Structure 1
Amino acid sequence: MQAAWLFGALVVPQLLGFGHGARGVEREWEGGWGGALEEEREREALMLKHLQEALGLPAVGVDENLAVTPEVGRLAGLDAGLHQLHVRLHSLDTRVVELTQGLRQLREVAGDTRDAVQVLQEAQGRAEREHGRLEGCLKGLRLGHKCFLLSRDFEAQAAAQARCVARGGSLAQPADRQQMEALTRYLRAALAPYNWPVWLGVHDRRAEGLYLFENGQRVSFFAWHRAPSTEPGAQPSAAPHPLSPDQPNGGVLENCVAQASDDGSWWDHDCQRRLYFVCEFPF
């Protein structure tokens, strides 16, 4: 294929040049040089034959009008088509490079946008926590260095804790009996005349009977509900009170603590039960 192309590149222009010269001479000296032209054509044919033999090419030639033979024409057509393919390939390669650069820029912009969105979300979270803390202290009960705020939404214990955290606090963790009594008065005033259990941040999920606050500290005092005592002179009963048994009585099935809004007593409940809850916020 390469030899044929070399043949086309070297021989065809010479043939075309010879043909053009021969036709010019024939037109100019049409009357007196017929024999000389015939000899010139024979000489050109002989040169072409010797060149073909030297290059080891199949016998090709030109017709009497010095037109390129079909084999040479096909080679020229293939070369032209190959050149067009190279041009298109170069254009496609240039387009791929441009698209790759554009994609890289888009990724950089997307990364910057992602970072900006994350910064905005963090700022929004801080603003929501600060707003929740201020709202808790303005609308709720302020007691020392913390504030309590009742929520009248029904939530499971874990969901209630998550909502308190999102607002900048946690479920209520009364640190001593004074705080417990103040929280009792607050809930009684807010929910009277009804008695609603309200989630506290107290549980024994880690180990049965080991009650901890949500911050991981161990609870140092308890306000468990106790069944009503018997009337004076009556014999004590060994059976638990059917309506208000001593607490805690749920075992491994009830691991979260709620406070009754009427008397402030603690009851253990299933953590998935949906109750009101009270958040506390640092002040």
Structure 2
Amino acid sequence: MQAAWLLGVLVVPQLLGFGQGARGAEREWTGGWGGAVEEEQDSEALMLKHLQEALGLPSHTGEDNFTGITLDEISLDEGLWGPEEERGEPKGKEATTTPAPSPSPSPSPTQEDTVTYILGRLAGLDAGLHQLHVRLHALDTRVVELTQGLRQLRKAADDTREAVQALQEEQARAGRERGRLEGCLKGRRVGHKCFLLSRDFEAQAAAQARCVARGGSLAQPADRQQMEALTGYLRAALAPYNWPVWLGVHDRRAEGLYLFENGQRVSFFAWHRAPSPSPHPLSPSQPNGGALENCVAQASDDGSWWDHDCERRLYFVCEFPV
């Protein structure tokens, strides 16, 4: 049976081709060659008949029957090679589509690749750290420069402050010297001191501060001679009016304990005394203010002392040492 199959595979195509060639030759060469062609066709038909019998194919009649046989009619797959099940092929007519192979996964990194990657990252970190060190060094240098500049500015500020302080001290000293000269030139000199009247209204403490700024203090008549000289100076300066003028005498520390501005205790007093036997209600005997009136002013007409509230604003008289 296998031999028949092989014979069919080898002979049938040649016979088909030979038959077609014979028919073409017949159509081309009609005439004198007709008898030879007919003999050739008869022998071809006889060979095909024997082949059909050998292969078990159905017989066909007529001249052109064999030429109409195609490979579709002669199932070479079934007649020659056997059923599809024996060849291990599926029975379905539609060809199964073979899925496209999936792309192969990328190879996993090796240990050398990992080490190279780590070394590259470390190199980048080292470069960044180097840049940070460079910037830090630049910042340190800048900080040092700024610190030095700040130190120089502080030194210059200290020098300026000292210069200003020295200038202020010199100005104060010049003011005191000028005040002493002015007090002796414009005021009244008595022994080793000079008295100078100020026609500005000030409280007792403010008047003392102004006298000190000019190199003196509020007047502190220590004896009768100084008291009479001061009385004559004030009367001449303020006549014909009677003005109270601050002196440097007070009892702020203790009631009834009168002190000069330099802290010495007053030993000579010139308090006003009311006339008797009929005193005037507006001129009582002094001191009469108690704890409410702790500073002493001198009347410009007769030189008597009166106690007043220290915050009252009056003229004042300064004294300057000669």
What is the TM-score when the length of structure 1 is the normalising length? 0.71
Superposed, 1:67-146 pairs within 5 Å as 70-146=117-193
- Check whether the contact 1:212–1:218 (CA below 8 A) recurs between aligned residues: yes
How many Å apart are 1:69 and its aligned residue? 5.4
Over residues 112-154 of structure 1, what are the superposed CA-to-partner deviations in whole Å (9 max), with x where a residue is unaligned?
Answer: 2222222111111111100000000000111111110000111
Q: Which of 179, 195, 200 in structure 2 is aligned with 1:148?
A: 195
Over residues 219-268 of structure 1, what are the superposed CA-to-partner deviations in whole Å (9 max), with x where a residue is unaligned?
Answer: 222111111223xxxxxx6xx64211110000111111000111111100
Q: Which of 285, 293, 301 in structure 2 is aligned with 1:246?
A: 285
The answer as to 2:248 corresponding to 1:196 is no
Deviates more, 1:191-200 or 1:104-113: 104-113
Q: Which residue of 2 aligns with 1:178?
A: 225
How many Å apart are 1:205 and its aligned residue? 1.3
Cα RMSD of the aligned pairs, angstroms, is: 1.8
How many Å apart are 1:202 and its aligned residue? 0.8
Q: Percent identity?
A: 88
Q: What is the CA–CA distance in structure 1 between the aligned matches of 2:160 and 2:225, rounded to whole Å?
A: 50
- Check whether the contact 1:198–1:276 (CA below 8 A) recurs between aligned residues: yes
Q: Which residue of 2 aligns with 1:61?
A: 113
Q: What is the CA–CA distance in structure 2 between the aligned matches of 1:86 and 1:213, rounded to whole Å?
A: 73
Q: Which amino acid in structure 2 is aligned with residue 218 of structure 1? A: R
Q: Which residue of 1 aligns with 2:54?
A: none
Q: Please give the secondary structure, in 2, of the residue aligned with 1:205.
A: strand
Q: Which of 229, 241, 260 in structure 2 is aligned with 1:213?
A: 260
How many Å apart are 1:102 and its aligned residue? 1.4
Q: Please give the secondary structure, in 1, of the residue aligned with 2:254.
A: coil
Q: Which residue of 1 aligns with 2:37?
A: none
Q: What is the CA–CA distance in structure 2 between the aligned matches of 1:217 and 1:90, rounded to whole Å?
A: 68
- Check whether the contact 1:60–1:71 (CA below 8 A) recurs between aligned residues: no
Structure of higher CA gyration radius: 2
Q: Which of 293, 296, 315 in structure 2 is aligned with 1:276?
A: 315
Count the aligned residue pairs: 213
Q: Which amino acid in structure 1 is aligned with residue 111 of structure 2? A: A
Uncovered stretches (5+) of structure 2, i.e. residues with no partner: 1-109
Q: What is the CA–CA distance in structure 2 between the aligned matches of 1:197 and 1:251, rounded to whole Å?
A: 19
Q: Please give the secondary structure, in 1, of the residue aligned with 2:272.
A: coil
Q: What is the CA–CA distance in structure 2 between the aligned matches of 1:82 and 1:216, rounded to whole Å?
A: 74
Q: Which residue of 2 aligns with 1:33?
A: none
Relative CO higher for 1 or 2, CA cutoff 8 Å, sep ≥ 6?
Answer: 1
Q: Please give the secondary structure, in 2, of the residue aligned with 1:204.
A: strand
Q: What is the CA–CA distance in structure 2 between the aligned matches of 1:146 and 1:160, rounded to whole Å?
A: 18
Q: Which amino acid in structure 2 is aligned with residue 244 of structure 1? A: S
What is the TM-score when the length of structure 2 is the normalising length? 0.63
Q: Which of 158, 162, 170 in structure 1 is aligned with 2:209?
A: 162
Q: Which amino acid in structure 2 is aligned with residue 247 of structure 1? A: Q
How many Å apart are 1:78 and its aligned residue? 2.0
